[in-house]
C-alpha cells in the first residue's frame, strides 16, 4: 500500500473513531474530518506516558466544535457547545481517587480541556474528564497532568479558586440561575457554592453544602486525579429532586485552574498584592501590576466547554450539555 493511500485510510479510521466517541450527531453534525486532525485531538506524546492512560483504555474525545477557518472561536462556541453522553455506571464507584472501576474505562472521556483565553493552544498542563451516574449520584473524574500540584487552603469553603482546583458546575434546568459549583483542590479540600446568578455570588453562596458529597484525590508521578460523587438528593436548591431520566439534558461546566510555580510563587504574588493595597503612587501601581501579570502569565484556565474570557467560568450560556443516556 502506498504511503499516501495508507495515510488516507488512516485518516478515515480516525474520523470513524472520532464519530463513535464525540457524539457529534447529537448536535446535528456528524464528526468531520477536521475533528480528527486538530493537535489537541491526536494522541500526543505526553498522553502516552501518563500512568492512568497506560492502565485504562479511556478514549480521548473532544466534543466541542472548534472554529472553522475564518470563523472566530467565540462565534463557534456561541453556536455550539459540546454534548457529553453520560452513560450509567456498570459497577459501583468507590470514591477513592483511583479510576480503576470498569465504569471509568467504559465511559467517554473528554479532553484535553481547552484554555478559555486561547482555545486553539494546547495546554501545558492537560486535563481530561469523564462523567457517569447511577440511581444515587453523579460521578465526575478528572485526570490532571501536573508534576507539582499545590494548595495552601485547608478548610471547607476556603477561596480555593485562588490556587489550583478542578471544578464542576451543574445547572440542571439550564436557566443559568441557582446552579451548583464545586471545587476540589489537589489536597482534597472542597468549596461548594450555590450560585444564584453569575457574578452575583455573595459570601452567602458558600454557606450551601452538597449533602453527602464524596471526593478523593490521588497523586502519581505525572499529576493528580480527582474522583467525585454528588448525590442527586443534594441538589434540591438547584432544582433536582431525583436521578435524571435517560434523555434528560443538563448544562454542565468542567474546569481546572493550574497555577505553575507552587507555593513559592503564590507567596510572591501575595506580597505584591499586599504592597499594592492602599498605594496611591500610580507609577508604582503600574509597576506592581506588570510584575503580577508576568507572574500570572502561565496560569491556565481550562474548560471542557470554552467560556468567554471576560466572564471567566461563570458563563452559563457556554456550559456544555450532559445528556444522560440509559443502559443499552
Ligand atoms: Ca474509584
Ligand atoms: Ca459550601
* Domain positions in the chain: 48-260+300-324, 261-297
Q: What is the pLDDT of residue 66?
A: 42
CB 125 within 8 A of CB 144: yes
Strands (E), the chain: 60-61, 83-86, 109-110, 114-115, 127-133, 137-145, 165-171, 179-184, 190-195, 214-220, 223-231, 249-258, 300-303, 320-324
CA of 216 relative to ligand 1 center, distance in Å: 8
Host H or E run for residue 250: strand 249-258
CA of 227 relative to ligand 1 center, distance in Å: 7
Which residue is associated with the grid cell 443534594? 234
Tens of pLDDT, residues 241-291? 899 999 999 999 999 999 999 999 999 999 999 999 999 999 999 999 999
pLDDT band at 203 (very low <50, low <70, confident <90, very high): low
Peptide bond between residue 112 and the one before it cis (omega within 30 degrees of 0): yes
Q: What is the pLDDT of residue 14?
A: 33
* Nearest C-alpha neighbor of 223 from the set 122, 101, 99: 99
CA of 320 relative to ligand 1 center, distance in Å: 24
CB 121 within 8 A of CB 38: no
**Mean pLDDT to the nearest integer, 43-47:** 34
Q: What is the pLDDT of residue 200?
A: 74
CA of 61 relative to ligand 1 center, distance in Å: 21
CA of 101 relative to ligand 1 center, distance in Å: 6
φ and ψ of 249, to 5 deg: -125, 130
Which DSSP category does 187 fall into? Answer: T
CA of 57 relative to ligand 1 center, distance in Å: 15
Q: Which CATH number fits domain 48-260+300-324: 3.40.50.10380, 1.10.4080.10, 1.25.40.10, 2.60.40.1190?
A: 2.60.40.1190
CA of 194 relative to ligand 2 center, distance in Å: 8
Which DSSP category does 94 fall into? Answer: P
Q: Mark residue 306 as left, alpha or beta (left: phi above 0; alpha: psi -120 to 50; beta: remaining).
A: beta
Mean pLDDT (the chain) is: 81
Nearest ligand to the C-alpha of residue 206?
2
CA of 266 relative to ligand 1 center, distance in Å: 31
Peptide bond between residue 303 and the one before it cis (omega within 30 degrees of 0): no
* Nearest C-alpha neighbor of 315 from the set 304, 325, 324, 306: 306
Nearest ligand to the C-alpha of residue 183?
2
Tens of pLDDT, residues 130-167? 999 999 999 999 999 999 999 999 999 999 999 999 99
CA of 106 relative to ligand 1 center, distance in Å: 13
Nearest ligand to the C-alpha of residue 92?
1
Nearest ligand to the C-alpha of residue 204?
2
CA of 249 relative to ligand 1 center, distance in Å: 25
Tens of pLDDT, residues 80-109? 799 999 999 999 999 999 999 999 999 999
CA of 192 relative to ligand 2 center, distance in Å: 4
- Report the distance separating Cα 163 and Cα 149, nearest Å: 10
CA of 235 relative to ligand 2 center, distance in Å: 13
Mapping DSSP to helix (H, G, I), strand (E, B) and coil, where does residue 286 land?
helix
Amino acid at each position: 500500500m502506498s504511503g499516501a493511500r495508507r495515510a488516507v485510510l488512516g485518516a478515515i479510521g480516525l474520523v470513524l473513531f472520532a464519530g463513535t466517541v464525540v457524539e457529534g450527531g447529537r448536535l446535528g453534525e456528524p464528526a468531520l474530518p477536521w475533528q480528527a486532525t486538530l493537535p489537541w485531538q491526536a494522541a500526543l506524546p505526553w498522553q502516552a506516558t501518563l500512568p492512568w492512560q497506560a492502565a485504562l483504555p479511556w478514549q480521548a474525545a473532544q466534543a466541542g466544535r472548534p472554529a472553522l477557518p475564518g470563523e472566530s472561536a467565540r462565534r463557534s462556541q456561541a453556536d455550539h457547545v459540546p454534548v457529553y453522553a453520560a452513560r450509567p455506571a456498570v459497577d459501583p464507584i468507590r470514591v477513592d481517587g483511583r479510576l480503576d472501576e470498569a465504569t471509568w474505562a467504559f465511559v467517554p472521556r473528554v479532553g484535553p480541556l481547552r484554555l478559555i483565553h486561547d482555545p486553539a493552544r494546547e495546554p501545558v498542563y492537560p486535563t481530561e474528564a469523564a462523567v457517569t451516574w447511577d440511581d444515587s449520584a453523579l460521578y465526575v473524574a478528572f485526570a490532571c497532568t501536573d508534576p507539582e500540584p499545590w494548595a495552601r487552603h485547608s478548610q471547607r469553603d476556603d477561596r480555593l479558586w485562588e490556587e489550583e482546583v478542578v471544578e464542576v458546575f451543574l445547572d440542571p434546568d439550564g436557566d443559568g440561575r441557582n446552579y451548583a459549583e464545586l471545587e476540589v483542590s489537589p489536597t482534597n479540600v472542597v468549596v461548594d457554592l450555590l450560585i444564584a446568578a453569575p457574578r452575583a455570588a455573595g459570601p452567602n453562596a458558600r454557606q450551601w453544602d452538597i449533602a453527602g458529597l464524596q471526593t478523593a484525590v490521588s497523586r502519581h508521578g505525572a499529576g493528580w486525579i480527582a474522583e467525585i460523587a454528588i448525590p442527586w438528593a443534594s441538589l434540591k436548591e438547584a432544582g433536582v429532586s431525583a436521578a435524571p431520566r435517560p434523555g434528560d439534558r443538563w448544562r454542565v461546566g468542567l474546569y481546572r485552574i493550574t497555577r505553575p510555580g507552587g507555593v513559592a510563587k503564590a507567596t510572591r504574588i501575595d506580597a505584591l498584592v499586599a504592597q499594592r493595597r492602599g498605594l496611591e503612587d500610580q507609577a508604582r501601581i503600574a509597576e506592581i501590576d506588570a510584575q503580577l501579570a508576568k507572574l500570572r502569565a502561565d496560569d491556565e484556565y481550562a474548560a471542557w466547554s470554552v467560556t468567554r474570557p471576560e466572564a471567566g467560568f461563570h458563563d452559563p450560556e457556554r456550559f456544555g450539555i450532559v445528556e444522560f443516556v440509559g443502559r443499552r
